[in-house]
Amino acid sequence: MKRLLYTILAILITSIVFAQSDLMQKGNDFYSKDQFKQAIDVYNQILMTNVESPELYFNLGNAYYKSKQYTQAILNFERAKLLSPDDEDINFNLQIANQHVVDSIQELPGIFIVRWWNSLINSQTTDTWAVISIITFLLFLTLTGFYFFSRTGDIRRISFWAACLLITFSLFSWSFAAKQKSRLVGHNYAIVIQPTVTIKSSPSEKGTNLFVIHEGLKVRITDKLDGWLEVRLSDGNKGWLPTESIERI
């Protein structure tokens, strides 16, 4: 009985997956024929089934770009980048799409070591870091075994230090994976979707107007208070804006 249930479940899941790749193909065909509106519809249909993939977001972003909806294009390129941070095509298209953003924000340079550290973390996805963590952990166990069971002094010495190194590496990879995962799940970054948004000094309409930003800009969400979000721009400026004016990546 249980086995039958599992079989049915497996068939269902595979059929959904098949339907999705069929839809993906259909969307790509529409795109190739310059029917971008239809392509957008089809890609969004796939997203409705609660699945995602960097390719899907990338293609959707492309379709939005071609139909001149640059803000949506940026949003989807950013989502694709989140899933696949080191993809060259995604970064290139995101850069092109960002040229349509009105605001030019001078990014804070940051400390070199922090920047380097962040770019190291961003160089791999959550799952890659997770796999690296597992592999190094398994190697660590093997070397620990060598250490314990080898009679030769040299092998024991080498395996000891290597094991120490590997377990450190494994732990760091784990923490990187955790960090990437929190980025993915936390949705702490957002794109401004309203044409112009006035940033307030406090979470209410009465707050002082601090500055104005335009659609397509990427902001980091740092706090929230009923219907208002505190955002931080890459140049370090902070302020409050209504929740509906931005969309989380």
Site of interaction with other proteins (CB under 8 A): 17, 20-21, 24, 28, 31, 46, 50-56, 58-59, 62-63, 65-66, 89, 92-93, 96-97, 126-127, 129-131, 134, 137-138, 141, 144-145, 148-149, 177-178, 180-181, 184-185
Determine which helix (DSSP H) or strand (DSSP E) holds 197, and give its type and residue range: strand 196-200
CB of 249 to other proteins, least distance (A): 13
- Crossing angle between the packed helical segments 54-66 and 36-48, to the nearest 10 degrees: 150
Tokens matching residue 67: 């139909």
Residues 6+ apart with CB under 8 A from 60: 40, 43, 44, 47, 76
Considering the complex, state which of residue 150 and residue 194 has its C-beta at the smaller distance from other proteins: 150
What whole-number distance in Å separates Cα of residue 103 and Cα of residue 213?
A: 7
For residue 238, the 8-state DSSP code is E
Considering the complex, state which of residue 86 and residue 235 has its C-beta at the smaller distance from other proteins: 86
CB of 154 to other proteins, least distance (A): 16
Strands lying side by side in the sheet with 228-232: 209-214, 196-200, 238-242, 228-232, 218-225, 189-192, 246-248
Considering the complex, state which of residue 71 and residue 93 has its C-beta at the smaller distance from other proteins: 93
CB of 25 to other proteins, least distance (A): 8
Considering the complex, state which of residue 93 and residue 245 has its C-beta at the smaller distance from other proteins: 93
Counting Cβ atoms within 10 Å, is residue 229 exposed (0-12), middle (13-18) or buried (19+)? buried
Residue keyed to tokens 């029917």? 35
CB of 178 to other proteins, least distance (A): 7
Phi, psi of 152 (to 5 degrees): -75, 135
CB of 181 to other proteins, least distance (A): 5
CB of 141 to other proteins, least distance (A): 5
What whole-number distance in Å separates Cα of residue 56 and Cα of residue 85?
A: 14
Considering the complex, state which of residue 40 and residue 231 has its C-beta at the smaller distance from other proteins: 40
CB of 203 to other proteins, least distance (A): 27
For residue 213, the 8-state DSSP code is E
What whole-number distance in Å separates Cα of residue 65 and Cα of residue 88?
A: 17
